[in-house]
Amino acid sequence: DVKVTQSSRYLVKRTGEKVFLECVQDMDHENMFWYRQDPGLGLRLIYFSYDVKMKEKGDIPEGYSVSREKKERFSLILESASTNQTSMYLCASSPRPGQRNSPLHFGNGTRLTVT
Amino acid sequence: RKEVEQDPGPFNVPEGATVAFNCTYSNSASQSFFWYRQDCRKEPKLLMSVYSSGNEDGRFTAQLNRASQYISLLIRDSKLSDSATYLCVGYSSASKIIFGSGTRLSIRP
């Protein structure tokens, strides 16, 4: 069974802090994703990575950066946290999204509050 | 217009009822579709893939209509445990995975 692990379930940070959200998958998946989910807005893609050291911006990359130094790990970085980044952050992985049997597998989410 | 649209609900149906959701998509390049289930404050979990030929998994049936650009999910003999938000997802490429906003389903005893 695919396991996607996010390092923290809940985080509370102050405005201006640098925040790291870590995600690890154990299935040797090529593709990894970071989403945020807000009420009424659904899931929005922040960044994704299709290979080590490769990254592509999603729909809402502003205020975020990512790092993928190893295949199994994809980190989301909030350079200077702001209150409008309070959200549920979901990491996902997939071997080859877009193929019939390659859906996204999600971690259990990090609920981040920026005060 | 959103690329993937769902009726947000909530659908409130009695236990044992049959309930159906539709999801429309606007990008004809979308290749693959899935239904996910999301419980309150939890992550989305894959429910089933959606094939043009239709597919069934127990009480759940998913269908894709490419001509009319919609996908559907049918739940028969609904259980209390089916209460959740159901998300439809369309893929056209790695960078084009579009989630609907979800349909809330509440099953009452």
pLDDT digits (tens, 9 = 90+) for A72-93: 999 999 999 999 999 999 999 9
- Span B94-103, average pLDDT: 82
Please report, as a single letter, which amino acid is at residue B20.
Answer: A
- Per cent of chain A over pLDDT 70 is 94
Q: What is the mean pLDDT of chain A?
A: 92
- Chain A nearest C-alpha distance from B101 (Å): 5
Distance of CA B11 to the CA centre of its chain: 13
Q: What b/e sequence results for A62-71 when a residue is b if at least 16 CB atoms lie within 10 Å of its CB, and e otherwise? A: eebebbbeeb
**pLDDT of B91 higher than 90:** no
* Residue-level pLDDT at B95: 63
Q: Which residue(s) pair with B62 in the sheet?
A: B55, B73
| Residues of chain B above pLDDT 70, percent | 96
Q: How far apart are CA B3 and CA A73, in angstroms?
A: 30
Which tokens sit at B14? Answer: 């009695």
In this predicted structure, which of A5-14, A34-43, A95-104, B15-24 has the lowest mean pLDDT? A95-104
For the stretch B9-30, pLDDT in tens is: 899 999 999 999 999 998 777 7
User: What value does the mean pLDDT take over residues B55-79?
Assistant: 94
A99 touches chain B (CB under 8 A): yes
What pLDDT is stored for residue A86 in this prediction?
A: 98
CB contact under 8 A, B44 and A45: no
Contact between chains at A97 and B94 (C-beta distance less than 8 A): yes
Q: Does A100 have pLDDT greater than 80?
A: no
Q: Nearest residue on chain A to B31, judged by CA atoms?
A: A98
The answer to whether residue A34 scores a pLDDT higher than 90 is yes
Please name the amino acid found at residue A109.
G
* Identity of the residue in B31, B36, B42 whose CB atom sits nearest the CB atom of A98: B31
